[in-house]
A and B are shown apart, each in its own frame.
Chain A
Amino acid sequence: MRIRAVILRTLRQFRRDKRTVALMFIAPLLVLTLMNLVFNGSAYVPRIGITEGAADTFGEALTTQNAKVIPYPSDEQAEQALEDNKIDAVVSLQGGKPAVKLEGSDPTASRAVMSVIQNAAASLLPAASPSAAANADGSASASGNGNGNGNVYNGNRNGNRNGNGNPLAQPEISYLHGSGDMSTIDHIGPVLIGFFIFFFVFLIAGVAFLRERTSGTLERLLASPIRRSELVLGYLGGFGLFTLAQALLITWYSIKVLGIVMTGSFGYVLLLTLLLSMTALTLGMLMSAYASNELQMIQFIPIIIVPQLFLSGLFNLDTLPDWLAALRFIMPLYFGAQAMTDVMIRGQGWSGIAADLWSLAGYCVLFTLLNIAALRKHRKI
């Protein structure tokens, strides 16, 4: 009864606060769309300058690769173009051997140049020297990017490219999860969906509860016979219904509109996002006790939210010092992001995500209990 009253009130407040609703519904979609455009852009086509001497042999091999080849009459002109950042690399003939000079300030461009050049070199020298063979390894996976069509076991298509029939020259490529044409956004998408829900719910719930305290309504509420637990559960219910709608929209948009890879069950994704938002809600409420105004609530973002993003699987953590990487085990977002990736990319079911789900649920229960206890500060009983 009283829980219902709190739920109803929370929903009514949302209905009145159009801006917050817009923030929670539209902002994540906007950012995800932007991220999608940035990370999902088609493969970078490097611009490679080539000088007279190298043009006849190497130039042809390069143009069959995914590169824009620009001929220059002299080394100096090519160097100048490189200086002016008009091209990403210059290929010239130095003492009979091809030499490559890269512009080098953008790693993405550099990598693209290297991949193209290695592929070109490999196609010129099928009976490769040891170093070229090692390079061919790298080039095989790179060419897979442009070539794969989404089927998992299609590695033999890549092998046909050189047409030399040598099974050792080109390894067969296959994928256990995902596919060759999975882009960065597919990889970070599940983490980002979890993150945005966590971030916005944390902030909005935190500020809502902070307002409840600073406006005096919390004290007034606690002058009524409501139980502290009823108040916390009411918040959970109100925000829960609201964020359920938010989670539905965000996941639907990511999967159906942005086309982020989704191999698992939609239901699990919803369950996960809901659990994540409940955890964010309870954590936000808890932290709001340590903030005396909205600005101080925002100050928690770099301390509590951002580290979680970095340690939640967005980046590979293997190179981090152990103690730092171990921090992720105290971060709810890590478990959420982990399970989201498991469902969306690896298509796992209950058994695959149960451990993460329980961890998340554990955090949610823990924070809820802490909230109920923290309210003792305002009313002992």
Chain B
Amino acid sequence: MNSSLSPVLSASRVSRSFAGKTILSDIDLDIRPAEIFGLLGPSGSGKTTLVKMLAGIDAPTTGQIRLLGTLLPKRSMLQQIGYMAQADALYNELTARENMEFFAALYGLRGKRRSVRIEETAGLVGLSEHLSKKAWQYSGGMKRRLSLAIALLHEPPVLLLDEPTVGIDPVLRRSIWAELRKLTGKGTTVVLTTHVMDEADKCDRLAMIRDGRILAEGSTAELLRQTDTDQIEDAFIKLGGAGQ
């Protein structure tokens, strides 16, 4: 591993169990600065559980997670993270702008900077014209985009996005990916989960998760070479089979 790049986010020997049932075990991850890191895995494999721990909301049962060198969970480190949950967490009776204002305030944004950031992020996800609509009037995809905009509000150095592109049409999905790229260009580190294989191609590096274990980790090219396949989907199936 490249030692000159100390990891932004790292997990070492992390496991998580709920009521004695082990959901994640032996997770080792190093996420490098300014990369897009994808967590790829089938439903129920433990992606969300892992992301919550990386976001510092949940604590591992064993093992350690460090963000920028600091051991998580730690409340002050939450300021460094932009989190987008898998389920949209919005106040339906409030307007989109009010939702954004609320979360912006929680991250300490105020005054002019707050309104500027709200306009900017809403523009990024194509919601500028719909900010005065109430959240319950939003379509599923619009809610997803609003959640993403909220995660971006305070310009965090690390973004943790749980299935950010579900329910978003191909055109907008492309523009969101372009935006994420732009952000990494400015030094933001992005971790996202997906179970869509073609999105995996767009990540710098990937970790494949199945049944709470990491099957493989590396760039798309590395994973393809390692499994002697030419499609990420095949690589995933092969790895899963080999693991059994």
Contact = CB atoms under 8 A, between A and B. Distances in A.
Contacts, number: 74
Contact of A2 (B58, B83, B106): B106
Contact of B81 (A2, A223, A378): A223
B98 A379 contact: no
B75 interface: yes
A221 B94 contact: no
Interface string B135-175: 00000000000000000000000000000000000000000
A87 to B, nearest CB: 58
A157 interface: no
B81 A1 contact: no
B89 A219 contact: yes
A324 B89 CA distance: 45
A12 B74 contact: no
Interface size class on chain B is 20 to 34
A9 B78 contact: no
B89 A225 contact: no
Contacts of B79: 225
A152 interface: no
A223 B105 contact: no
Contact of A223 (B55, B87, B93, B94): B55
Contacts of B92: 215
A13 interface: yes
B133 to A, nearest CB: 13
Contacts of A226: 106
A162 interface: no
A381 B75 contact: yes
Contact of B94 (A4, A13, A380): A13
Contact of B73 (A13, A215, A381): A381
Contacts of B243: none
B3 to A, nearest CB: 31
A17 interface: yes
A227 B89 contact: no
A97 interface: no
A379 B93 contact: no
A8 B59 contact: no
A1 B108 CA distance: 8
B196 to A, nearest CB: 22
B132 to A, nearest CB: 13
A182 B78 CA distance: 60
Interface string A271-315: 000000000000000000000000000000000000000000000
Interface in B93-113: 93-94, 98, 102-103, 105-108, 110
B16 to A, nearest CB: 13
A77 interface: no
Nearest to B106: A224
B78 A12 contact: no
A378 B75 CA distance: 13
B93 A216 contact: no
Nearest to B59: A380
B103 A224 contact: yes
Interface in A217-248: 217, 219-227
Interface of A: 1-2, 4-5, 8-9, 12-13, 16-17, 215-217, 219-227, 378-381
9 contacts: A2-B105, A5-B105, A9-B94, A9-B98, A13-B91, A216-B87, A223-B55, A380-B59, A381-B73
Interface of B: 55-59, 73-76, 78-79, 81, 83, 85, 87-94, 98, 102-103, 105-108, 110, 134
Given A215-B89, A220-B89, A223-B55, 14 more contacts: A1-B105, A5-B106, A8-B105, A12-B94, A13-B94, A215-B90, A215-B92, A216-B89, A220-B83, A223-B78, A225-B75, A225-B106, A225-B107, A225-B108
